[in-house]
Amino acid sequence: MRPILALVLSVAACSTGTRSVRQPGSPTAEPQIAVMGEWSCLVAADHQVRCFWGHASVAAPAVDDAMGVAIGASRRVCILRAGRAVWCAPGKPPTWTELEPLVDTGIRDAVQILDTGQEVCARGRSGRVVCATGQALRDEPALLGASRIGGASQLCAVLPPGRVRCSFGEIIDVPITDAVDVDATQQTGCAVHASGHVSCWRVDHVVPVPVEGITDATRVALGMYRGCVLQRSGRVACWTHTPFAIEGRVACWPRTPFATEWTPCPSPARDSGLANIVSIAVGGGNHDARLHALSRDGSLTVTE
C-alpha cells in the first residue's frame, strides 16, 4: 500500500519529502473523517473542521463547535454542531465557507453524523437515530438503541446487545449478535465482533463470512472494493473485496438476481504499515479505494 499524502501540523516536511502541515491540538476521543473522492474533512480537537482536496488544505466552514462531519455524493459537506443542529454548506467545494442550517435533529446528545447519499443521519448517545432529506426530518424507530451507525446507500446500526440491522428500502437483520461497529456500501456490509474479528455479508445474501487475519479490530471502514479495520494496537489492516467473480478466488456468495456472478470471499487482511492511528475512512466514491487515516499526532495520511 503506497502512501500518497501525509498532513501533519507544523511546517516541517519528513525526510522522504512528504508534504506536512501542523494541526493545532490532538484528535478528539472519537474523531470522525468524512471522505468523497478527492475531498476529505475531519473534526479537530478544538471542534473546528479541516478540509482537504488531495494533499492541499482548502477553505472549510468556520465553526468551533463541530461534533461530527459528513460529505455526500454531491460533495456537500454537513456538520453536526453542539446543540444538535445540522448545518450544511449549500455549494460544492471549494465554496464550503458559508453554512446554512439544514435541520434541528431534536437529539440533544447527538454524537455521530453520516451522509448515506440520499439522507443525512445523526445518532445520539441515547441511541436515537434521525435522518433528514432537505428539511424534512424523520425518526428511524427500527434503529432505536443504536450504539453505532454506518453506511452509504444503506444505513446500518449496532443495536443491543450487539445485533446488526440495516435499512435499505426494507429492514434487514444480519445474523450477528456481538457487534461493536458496522459499515456498509450499497452492496456489502461488514461488522466488528466483540472478539475483534470481522465478518462481511452481501445485501442480497445476508450470510456473514469472516475476514481472515483480523483478531483485534475496534472499527471498520468499507469502500466499494476495499475494507479496512482500526486495531486495538493503533495499526490498520485492509483487504480487498468485490461484488464480481474473479477467476481463481473462492466463492463465498452465490449468484442472485442482484449479482449475476458469484461473489468471491474477501482476501485475507494485510497490515497497511500505518501505526498510532485513531480514526479511518475508505473511499467515498464507487471506484475510490483510498484509505484515509488520522493519527494521534493529528496527521492525516491517504494511501492508495
pTM: 0.84
Instruction: Give 3-state DSSP helix, strand, coil % of the chain, rounded to 5.
Output: 0, 45, 55
Q: Can you give the pLDDT at residue 277?
A: 95
Confidence of residue 8 (pLDDT cuts 50, 70, 90): very low
The span from the CA of 289 to the CA of 262, in Å, is 21
**161: cis peptide before it, omega within 30°?**
yes
Average pLDDT over every residue of 279-304 = 81
C-alpha grid cell, residue 207: 450470510
**CA dist., res. 55 & res. 251, Å (int):** 38
Mean pLDDT of the residues in the chain:
80
pLDDT score, position 203 = 82
- DSSP symbol at 285: S
Task: List pLDDT tens digits, range 65-110.
Answer: 998 999 887 778 899 998 788 988 866 665 667 788 888 888 888 8
Region 26-53: mean pLDDT is 78
Q: CA-CA distance, 97 to 258, in Å (whole number)?
A: 41
In DSSP terms, 80 is beta-bridged to 68, 86
Q: Which helix (H) or strand (E) holds 70?
A: strand 66-71
Does an H or E element contain 30, and which? none
Question: Can you give the pLDDT at residue 188?
Answer: 86
Lookup: cell for 115? 451522509
Measured distance CA(153)–CA(75) in Å, rounded: 15
Residues 6 or more apart from 108 whose CB is under 8 A from it? Answer: 84, 124
> Can you read off the three cell numbers belonging to residue 194?
466483540
Q: What is the structure's pLDDT at 10?
A: 26
Q: Is 298 helix (H, G, I), strand (E, B) or coil?
A: coil
Show Cβ contacts of residue 12 under 8 Å, excluding neighbours closer than 6 positions. Answer: 20, 22
Which residue, among 100, 151, 105, 163, has the nearest Cα to 129 in the 3D structure? 105
Does the pLDDT at position 284 exceed 70? Answer: no
Mean pLDDT of the 192-204 span: 92
**Pick from 1-10, 69-78, 158-167: least confident:** 1-10
